[in-house]
Amino acid sequence: MLRYDLAGRTVAITGSTGGLGSAVAQALRRRGAHLALLDLDGTAVAAQADALGGPLVAWAAQADVTDLDNVRSAVDRAAAHFGRIDVVIANAGVSAVAPMATLNPETFERVVDVNLTGVWRTFKAALPHVERQRGYLLAISSMAAFVHSPLQAPYTASKAGVWAMCNSIRLEVRHLGVGVGTLHPTFLKTPMLDAIHADPAGRRLWGGNERGLWRMCTVDKAVRSIVSGMERRAQTITACRAHALVAAAPGFFRPFVDRVGFTTKTITEASAASSPSGGLPPTSSTVSCGFEEQSAGFEVVEDKTVRLSEGDPARRGP
| Each residue's pLDDT tens digit, 267-279 | 676 667 666 765 5
Would you put residue 211 in left (φ > 0), alpha (ψ -120 to 50) or beta? Answer: beta
How far is the CA of 219 from the CAs of 114, 205, 240, in angstroms?
A: 22, 21, 11
pLDDT at 36: 98
Quote the Cα angle for 278-128-226, to 5°: 100
Q: What's at 35, amino acid-wise?
A: L
How far apart are alpha carbons 28 and 71 in whole angstroms?
Answer: 22
Indicate the pTM of the whole model.
Answer: 0.74
What band does 283 get if pLDDT is binned at 50, 70 and 90?
low
Average pLDDT in the 151-161 region?
Answer: 90
How far apart are alpha carbons 137 and 123 in whole angstroms?
Answer: 7
What band does 220 get if pLDDT is binned at 50, 70 and 90?
confident
Beta bridge partner(s), residue 13? 37, 89
How far apart are alpha carbons 193 and 19 in whole angstroms?
Answer: 9
> Percentage of the chain with pLDDT > 90?
49
pLDDT at 149: 74
How far is the CA of 100 from the CAs of 116, 154, 230, 312, in angstroms?
A: 19, 9, 36, 47
Average pLDDT in the 53-81 region?
Answer: 98
Rg from Cα positions in the chain: 23
* φ and ψ of 12, to 5 deg: -95, 135
* Total Cβ atoms within 10 A of residue 179: 21
Q: What's at 262, amino acid-wise?
A: F
Tell me which of 86 and 141 has the higher pLDDT.
Answer: 86
> Percentage of the chain with pLDDT > 70?
66
* Total Cβ atoms within 10 A of residue 71: 26
Q: Is 136 a catalytic residue?
A: no
264-269's contacts with Cβ under 8 Å and 24+ in sequence apart are 264/174, 264/175, 267/171, 267/172, 267/175, 268/175
Half-sphere exposure of 117 (CA within 13 A, CB side): 12
8 Å CB contact between 258 and 166: no
pLDDT over 50 at 286, yes or no: no
Catalytic one of 82, 155, 163, 187: 155
Among 119-133, 151-165, 191-205, 293-307, name the most confident range. 119-133
- The lowest-confidence range among 15-29, 88-102, 178-192, 296-310 is 296-310
